[in-house]
Amino acid sequence: MKPHRIRMTHSLIMNYGLYKKMEIYRAKPATKQEMCQFHTDEYIDFLSKVTPDNMDAFAKEQGKYNVGDDCPVFDGLFEFCGISGGGSMEGAARLNRGKCDIAINWAGGLHHAKKSEASGFCYLNVLDIVLGIIELLRYKQRVLYIDIDVHHGDGVEEAFYTTDRVMTCSFHKYGEYFPGTGELRDIGVGAGKYYAVNFPLRDGITDETYKSVFEPVINHIMEFYRPEAVVLQCGADSLSGDRLGCFNLSMKGHANCVEYVKKFGLPTLVLGGGGYTMRNVSRAWCYETGVLVGQKVGPELPYSDFYEYFGPDYELDVRPSNMENLNSREYLEKIKTQVLSNLERTRHAPSVQMTDVGRGTTEHQEDQDAILDDQEADTIGMDQRQTQRQWERGVEKPGELYDSEDEDMGAHIGVRPSSKKRRRNERNYKEANASATGSAVATPQPEASVPTSEAGAALTSGLMGYAGEHDEELERLAREGGDEDVEMDEDSGHPAKKAKGDEAASPDEEMTDVVASNAAGEGAEAKDSTPTQAAEPAEVAPSASEPAPVPSTLDAPEKPSTPEDKPVEVAAT
């Protein structure tokens, strides 16, 4: 099973122009941590170290892990495993993210490897199929695995033999044939009973007889199991003329299985598999790629770098031979009846509580998803499907908070307005505002006192002179009180000192009383005279126990005091 067949397939796909209806990606190779989600650490470590030059030093491990006979050691073995498996993982991930409906990895589909053992030219099974299915199970409740390779898919069946979330269905040669498994009575155990389907076949099966058993079985599985995703392994060793195969399928008979599965419209991961006649393998996979993308491929081969491999006819076709078909009608009906009877015993499609399958690379995978979304954001058109992340990025969030001191801008973007009173640490306030401005504090005025314009002007000049002394008082409180919470004035933004009932009046408060008394006296004298202009009454607080902050006169620009000016409104504390 040489990698050269993958290059031939890729060359045909490119020269037929099928790439125009696909998106082609170079997948990231799988890491050791991802490989160890199914295989043992010791087995993966051995594959990463062994080379043709040092394989004699690993003689014991080669016997333990079945490496050396049908699974020889070659240069770049570990890199090949990582690249082959990375495509299946990436394809399953893109199906989950809704980036495609069908993902193809012709380099995958190695279905014989075990948890800690290589088998049947397969070194890693988890990366090609099992880990791809596990990736699908993160979003899908049920996954159907279909295997049309001539050999039984024993590795995949063993991995999911005890679960009902994955149904495995294999059509294969049974008897004295590798790997010797896949009997009709192998139906699973425990929770996975009746969720392993095996259809053993004999030599020489043709297109018509294969279709007569494949389509009814798959149709009943879709009806009873109702999978949410499909993984289709398209091993080409079931074609006629394969070096290790014994079936008599033509290229179109093999592709009929792919076309029938496609009709169900489920997310499908299509993988390669076996195939040991390279020219027939590349022909079949190129033709099936055209079936998957919905484009007919002509029989005449275009010229390519591997054109001479397809002689002497140079056509895109694999014809059946005249070998005898040992699958009698009675035999096939008997096997089909038993298989359908087992499917009816499943009763209903299993469902599970959907949870994220734990894996060590979840955070890394999310970062990779974000990077992919950013890279593809500029290339998405109106006719292409957007991912959930890309859709959310285009939705405006009206309640998000932004760092903005502009109240109008904050209201425009949906920021909640600030409360009337804010509390700020006095030390931080002192550092942020080196030159604080003071606010005046006044005692309650008599209700009969109505200040005139002259009284307002006198009071304003008194408050202006008091501001400097109040700044010194704030600095003294900051040094003595430490990190004392100070209630802020809602208009000026400056701290207002709390009044304490048990303490004596400070000199500042006495000075304020004098200023307020003078203003009240002048207001009483002006009451008997007829003023040239009506004066507005001052606002009086209901009680002295609930202080109200006074707006600082320093916040507004200074205006010359004239008789026409209105008196300053003073709130009592």
Q: Is 208 exposed, middle or buried (0-12, 13-18, 19+ CB in 10 A)?
A: exposed
- pLDDT score of 350: 77
pTM of the model: 0.60
- Cα angle: 292, vertex 174, 253; to 5 degrees: 30
Count CA atoms within 13 Å of residue 3 on its CB side. Answer: 9
- Residue 171 contacts residue 201 (beta carbons within 8 Å): yes
Could you tell me the two tokens for 14?
Answer: 């490119």
**112 annotated active-site:** yes
- Residue 444 contacts residue 547 (beta carbons within 8 Å): no
- pLDDT score of 153: 87
- Cα angle: 342, vertex 348, 351; to 5 degrees: 125
- In the sheet where 229-233 sits, what is the strand order? 102-105, 268-271, 229-233, 143-147, 166-173, 196-201
- pLDDT score of 499: 47
- Residue 291 contacts residue 104 (beta carbons within 8 Å): no
Q: Is 297 exposed, middle or buried (0-12, 13-18, 19+ CB in 10 A)?
A: buried
The Cα diameter of the chain in Å comes to: 133
- pLDDT score of 443: 46
- Residue 166 contacts residue 133 (beta carbons within 8 Å): yes
Exposed e or buried b for every residue in 183-193, given b needs 16+ CB within 10 A?
A: eeebbbeeebe
- pLDDT score of 2: 67
Helices and strands, counts by H and E, the chain: 17, 9
- pLDDT score of 3: 76
Residue ranges of the chain with pLDDT lower than 70? Answer: 1-2, 38-39, 66, 68-71, 111-127, 347, 353-573
Q: CATH number of the domain at 4-344, out of 3.40.800.20, 3.10.20.600, 3.50.50.60, 3.40.190.10?
A: 3.40.800.20
Q: Which amino acid is at 432?
A: A
Q: How many CB atoms lie within 10 A of CB 73?
A: 18
- Cα angle: 231, vertex 234, 236; to 5 degrees: 165
What residue segments make up the domains of the chain, in order of their start?
4-344, 424-573
Task: Give the active site residue among 10, 112, 152, 220.
Answer: 112
Q: Is 309 exposed, middle or buried (0-12, 13-18, 19+ CB in 10 A)?
A: middle
- Residue 107 contacts residue 2 (beta carbons within 8 Å): no
- Residue 389 contacts residue 369 (beta carbons within 8 Å): yes
- pLDDT score of 379: 57
The CA distance from 105 to 90, in Å, is 9
- pLDDT score of 49: 81
- Residue 283 contacts residue 12 (beta carbons within 8 Å): yes
- pLDDT by residue (tens digit) across 48-84? 888 877 877 777 777 777 676 666 777 777 877 777 7
